Amino acid sequence: MKKQKSIYALSVIAALSFYGCGSGTSSSSLSDAPASVQTAISAVSGYSVVVERGAVYDSNVTDANGSVAVQVSDTNNTYIFANEPVFPVTAVGGWIDVDGDGNLTAADVALDINLTSYCNVITPTTTYIADENETIREQKLFALAQETNTTMEELLKAPSEATKKSIIVLNAVYEKLIERDNEHSNAPIAIEAILKRFTEIETNTNLDDNATSLEMALAVEEQTMINLKKQDFIHTLNFDEIEKIKGKKSSKQNKDGETSDSTISDPIVPNSGTTDSNVTGSIATDTTASDAETIDSNAISSSTTDAETTDGEVPNQLPTV
């Protein structure tokens, strides 16, 4: 028993230290950051966070004190705080780049749930474990890693940088968050429900082991969105909404007298979702397993394969949070 506790403690320390989830205030070295963060703009100084479910753009990213982060560029899902953020950080609204092309199209969907994190990466997984009690966060992360045969480090990565199992975990969590949100519930999500959906997705997923993390993330995400659309659980962007968002971008650029892509437009505000640090969510019900289609990585289009989630260069320092 003591041995198990020691392993748990060491695993937690390793994971939280590696991804800036500790309570320290020193900056992480740039070499430790995910590639998605390392492509941010070097001219922008500050503290960066990545928002990813697929890449999330035009979101309103704030810290616990209400400080607002600025999106690095229109095609980069890294957001910069001018000063060290006070955690948790939350992403509200915006849109998910489902096809990974960096362009706002009818293939993309609105981010209808709030995402929260005590780290410098904001994902559905960090939202699931989010709790003001650090011990609870650690326990939930450890249990999720242990039950899905992955690591805590991998679970804290953005999906475009993660392993296949971690990507599938994230999608199972996202579905359960969406399901809960549609039920207008704040009830905690049982890990058993996540694990059941994880098994269903993994069973119906056929990915090339040689595929990149980004290719796998986009492929699994596409199937997840198909399942959720069948149940009318997610908000697909229509023509008017797309034009409205693009119009706000153009208006802001004209107002600033430049075409700078380092500023963000007003976010797409979700129609529902909770605002607490544990955020809401939900997923395809357990009946979606029968409707699930097998994912074949060979079917990924060349445009998806070549898609980049970020562009530019990187900030000089990253926060350890």
Average pLDDT over all residues of the chain: 75
275-to-87, 93, 127 alpha-carbon distances in Å: 15, 12, 12
Written as six digits, the tokens of 267 are: 């976010």
CB contact at 8 A, 245 and 264: no
Q: Which of 32-41, 133-142, 172-181, 276-285 comes out lowest in average pLDDT? A: 276-285
The answer to whether 137 and 181 have CB atoms below 8 angstroms apart is: no
pLDDT of 43 above 80? no
Question: Are 56 and 96 a contacting pair, CB within 8 Å?
Answer: yes
Closest Cα to residue 279, out of 199, 206, 181, 213? 181
Q: Find the length of the chain.
A: 321
Determine contact, residues 100/309, Cβ cutoff 8 Å. yes
In angstroms, the CA 231 to CA 14 distance is 39
**Residue 158: exposure state from Cβ atoms within 10 A (0-12, 13-18, ≥19):** buried
- Judge whether residue 145 has pLDDT over 90: yes
Say whether pLDDT at 270 is over 70. Answer: no
pLDDT digits (tens, 9 = 90+) for 74-131: 899 999 999 999 999 999 999 999 989 999 988 899 999 999 999 999 999 999 999 9
Contact between 172 and 284 under an 8 Å Cβ cutoff? The reply is no
Q: Is the pLDDT of residue 166 over 70?
A: yes
Q: Could you read off the pLDDT of 176-225 as tens digits, one per residue?
A: 999 999 999 989 999 999 999 999 999 998 888 889 999 999 999 999 99
User: What is the separation, in whole angstroms, between the first and last Cα of the chain?
Assistant: 30
Query: Looking at residue 256, what is its pLDDT?
Result: 53
37-51, 178-192, 262-276: least confident range: 262-276
pLDDT at site 310: 40
d(CA 233, CA 112): 9
Return the closest-CA partner of residue 189 out of 203, 178, 200: 178
The pLDDT of residue 98 is 93
Q: Of 1-10, 202-211, 287-296, which has the strongest mean pLDDT?
A: 202-211
pLDDT score at 19? 42
Torsion of CA 28, 34, 35, 41, to 10 degrees: -50
Percent of the chain with pLDDT over 70: 63
What is the model's pLDDT at position 45?
Answer: 58
Burial 114-126 (b: 16+ CB within 10 A, else e): bbbbbbbbbbbbb
* Residue (of 305, 283, 256, 245) closest to 110 by Cα position: 245
Q: Does residue 283 or residue 106 have the better pLDDT?
A: 106
- For the chain, the structural domain boundaries read 2-319
In this structure, what is the dihedral angle of CA atoms 226, 160, 99, 113, given to the nearest 10 degrees? Answer: 60
Model-level pTM? 0.70
Instruction: Give the Cα separation of 125 and 141 in Å (integer).
Output: 9
Per-residue confidence at 242, pLDDT binned at 50, 70, 90? confident
